[in-house]
Amino acid sequence: MYGFNRSEGENPAWPGLVDVFAFTLVFVLLLGITHQPDEKIKELEEENKMLQLEISKLQNNLVEINEMIRGRGLRELKELFEIARKNFPDDYNLNINEDSIEISITTSPAIFFNTAEYKLHTSDHQRLGRLAPILLDLINGKPFYILINGTADPRPLHQKIPPQNNIELSALRSATVADILEKTAPGLGRYLRVTGLGVRGEKAPPGVDPEQYYQQFRTVSLVIKVDPEKLRTQFLLPY
């Protein structure tokens, strides 16, 4: 235990005074915080009321949007589905899901990527090229967008060059499809949304050819969804 050295000329009461001063300063600050002037309190109360009104407004808008999508949006999606079925190429399949309010687009045979690659075979490139103008005519000016989901198989991918992992790989596959669609049908790009889903599926079961099994996870899917902002704007619904 250290003793006090009087030869250094220090006041033994000094540490205690520092503590008292620090405590007093904190106490004053707390008083300043907890005892706001009446004007400040009123100002904070008004701000709180405004925030509560904004929250209530946003909640009402959300309910309105959900009702709008499930009502008018679903009706328009069904109409779009009927038109699409008459105009899509035979090697494309359409399926409408009323619960998720979307139309899925698949190909038969499916479009596949080679392992760890995001470039498409020429024939698949051409198939997407034939689809692009049909998609543009179908949704141009309408409250819809096309979600492009990329996938990768469950085998680990670690590289120093892009794609460095399965997340990047799946996103690049989606971007490849989006690029083909936009270049073939300029203007379609504003209706495209790209996302990488990363790893899909499980490891190949024993006794199954891994390459054939994993092929199903090296593809992309196209989904037509309702765009709530465009739907709101189209029918002039207020915010």
What are the structural domains of the chain? 52-234 (3.30.1330.60)
Higher local confidence (pLDDT), 236 or 170 = 170
Own/partner pairs for 119-127, CB < 8 Å, 24+ apart? 119/176, 120/176, 120/177, 120/180, 125/180, 127/89, 127/91
Average pLDDT score over residue span 165-172: 93
Question: How far, in Å, are 58, 81, 149, 163, 193 from residue 225 at the CA level?
Answer: 22, 11, 13, 28, 10
pLDDT in tens, 65-110: 566 667 788 888 999 999 999 989 888 999 999 888 899 998 888 8
* Alpha helices, H only, the chain: 14-34, 38-68, 74-87, 122-139, 166-184, 210-214, 228-234
CA distance 105 to 89: 11
Residues with Cβ within 8 Å of residue 202, at least 6 apart in sequence? 154
Q: How far apart are CA 207 and CA 195, in angstroms?
A: 33
**Per-residue pLDDT tens digits for 171-182:** 999 999 999 999
pLDDT digit string (tens) for 124-160?
A: 999 999 999 999 999 999 999 999 999 998 888 888 8
Q: What's this model's pTM, rounded to 2 decimal places? A: 0.68
